[in-house]
Amino acid sequence: MIRYIVRRVLSVIPTLLGLAFIIFMFQRLIPGDPAVAMLGEHATEENVARIRTQFGLDRPAFLDRDALAQGDFSGFFDSQFVRYLGRLVRLDLGDSIHRRIPVAETLAVRFPATFELAFLSLLIALIVGVPVGIVSASRRNSLLDGVAMIGSLIGVSMPIFWLGLLEMMLFAVFLQWLPSGGRLSSDIQLQAITNFVLIDSLLTSNMPAFVDAVKHILMPAFALATIPMAIIARMTRSSMLDVLQEDYIRTAKAKGLSERKVLVKHALRNALLPVITIIGIQAGTLLSGAVLTETIFSWPGIGKWVFDSILARDYPIVQGATLLIAVIFLVANLLVDLSYALLDPRIRYD
């Protein structure tokens, strides 16, 4: 097991290197220049040239053939990509071109916001999705099953921006129960420790902040949870239906075990393997795909930030955030793989 984990962790390095190369290359392939994007309508030739020089954008993207032709070997490697890799080795993600502040500094504040939202959404999706799937499977073709499956179909197909605005209209404008957006009310003071506001408010025993944070996260978390919730419900149902037809289930029933015990202890455990796989994939999708939810609920996470940075050609932000998401995605999938062994004793990673 330990050897397996070490092997998996080591395999992350070439994956990240390859990813760094691909992200770097694709960004340079799309037309548009960070300096021109930054200066907008006011751009003059002199300013564009100066900014390009200051951020090293006038250097060749990969290797400088002209320097090589002149016999300058050090210049040959003095390209944007090699400089970027050099910084990456030192765990320096660089500075934002537009903001001129370290990308890592902003990531440290924004990533927890996205993670908190994605984690809670996944939790909601699990808490609702798995039981709905079990009940649907155990009452196959019943009215309950029909309602649950139509409900999950609506969940999958409902546009998040529409659902988000509806939630806001109901809970913020008409009922005035919940705030319309943001992560914390501006009159709430909270000492930042981990930058996860729910955790920080608990760590500092700041109950007003905790209640305020919960109020803020509810609407976006439910909006973001709808799609994974529906997928998990459908997946659990179909996986449970397969398992329920197995011989050992019939045996368990024949032994006179209660339906609840058969479903939860015997069927669900086996049915969960594919569900866990889906959860792993959904976790990555939630982290990288919360752009719409973050936009509608003014959630200061990385989704909208990365999206805007792509449009502004702010290369260091896109590179840094994408790499972090990749790391999380790889970690989530490693956890999923390891959880197989916990769920199914037959699976061993030696």
Partner 1 sequence: MLRKPLFSMLAVVVMASMLLTACGGGGSVPATQAPVTEPTQAPEETMAPTEAAVGSQFIYGRGTDSVSLDPAIITDGESFRVSGQILEGLYTFKPGTTEPVGALAEECTPNDDATEWTCTLREGVKFHDGTDFNADAVIFNFERWRFTDNALHFPEQVFEYYEAMWGGFDDGSIITSVEAVDDLTVKFTLSSPMAPFLANLAMDMFAISSPAALEANGAAYGTPAVGAVGTGPFKFVEWVEADHITVEANADYWGGAPSVDQVIWRVIPDASARYLALKAGDIQGMEQATPEDFEAAQSDPELQVLFDAPLNTVYLAFNFKIKEFQDPKVREAVAHAVNKEALAEAFWGASGQVAKTLIPATMWGFNDAIEDYAYDPELSKQLLAEAGYPDGLSEMTIAEDILDAEGNVVYKAGEVMPLRFNYIPADRFYISGPKAVAEAMSADLAKAGIITELYTPGDWATYLGERRDGKLVGLYMLGWGGDNGDPDNFTGYFYATGAEPIAREGWYQNPELATLLQDALKTPGQDAREPMYQEAEQMLHDDIARIWLVHQATPILLSANVTGYQPQAVDADNYNLVVVE
- Whichever of 30 and 254 has its CB closer to partner 1, that residue is 30
DSSP 256: T
Residue of 83, 52, 77, 84 whose CA lies nearest to 63: 77
Interface residue with partner 1 among 37, 156, 249, 281 (CB under 8 A) is 37
Shortest distance, position 146 Cβ to partner 1, whole Å: 27
Shortest distance, position 273 Cβ to partner 1, whole Å: 12
Q: Is 50 in the site for partner 1 (CB under 8 A)?
A: yes
Residue position matching structure tokens 């909601």:
124
- Whichever of 149 and 291 has its CB closer to partner 1, that residue is 291
C-alpha angle with apex 125: 161 to 328, nearest 5 degrees? 85
- Give the Å distances, CA to CA, from 233 to 201, 217, 246, 289: 32, 23, 20, 20
Q: Is 331 in the site for partner 1 (CB under 8 A)?
A: yes
Q: Is 192 in the site for partner 1 (CB under 8 A)?
A: yes
Residue position matching structure tokens 């990456």:
88
Shortest distance, position 31 Cβ to partner 1, whole Å: 5
Q: Determine contact, residues 114/290, Cβ cutoff 8 Å.
A: yes
Return the residues of window 259-278 that contact partner 1 according to CB under 8 A. Answer: 264-265, 268-269, 272
Return the residues of window 166-185 that contact partner 1 according to CB under 8 A. Answer: 168-169, 172-173, 176, 179-184
Q: Is 164 in the site for partner 1 (CB under 8 A)?
A: yes
Q: Is 49 in the site for partner 1 (CB under 8 A)?
A: no
Locate 162 and state its tokens.
């529409």
Q: Is 190 in the site for partner 1 (CB under 8 A)?
A: yes
- Whichever of 149 and 320 has its CB closer to partner 1, that residue is 320
Interface residue with partner 1 among 208, 258, 347, 348 (CB under 8 A) is 208
The sign of the dihedral angle between the CA atoms of 276, 277, 278, 279 is positive
d(CA 60, CA 76) in angstroms, rounded, equals 9
How big is the site for partner 1, counted in residues (CB under 8 A)? 100
Residue of 286, 279, 284 whose CA lies nearest to 239: 279
Return the residues of window 278-307 that contact partner 1 according to CB under 8 A. Answer: 283, 294-298, 300-301, 304-305
- Whichever of 278 and 328 has its CB closer to partner 1, that residue is 328
Return the residues of window 100-159 that contact partner 1 according to CB under 8 A. Answer: 100-102, 104-112, 115, 119, 123
d(CA 59, CA 78) in angstroms, rounded, equals 8
Return the residues of window 217-236 that contact partner 1 according to CB under 8 A. Answer: none
Q: Is 5 in the site for partner 1 (CB under 8 A)?
A: no
- Whichever of 204 and 285 has its CB closer to partner 1, that residue is 204
Q: Is 317 in the site for partner 1 (CB under 8 A)?
A: no
C-alpha angle with apex 116: 110 to 119, nearest 5 degrees? 135
Q: Is 327 in the site for partner 1 (CB under 8 A)?
A: yes
- Give the Å distances, CA to CA, from 2 to 9, 194, 273, 280, 348: 10, 29, 22, 21, 11
d(CA 30, CA 298) in angstroms, rounded, equals 28
* Segment lying near partner 1 (by CB under 8 A), choices 63-71, 78-86, 136-144, 161-169: 161-169
d(CA 151, CA 185) in angstroms, rounded, equals 33
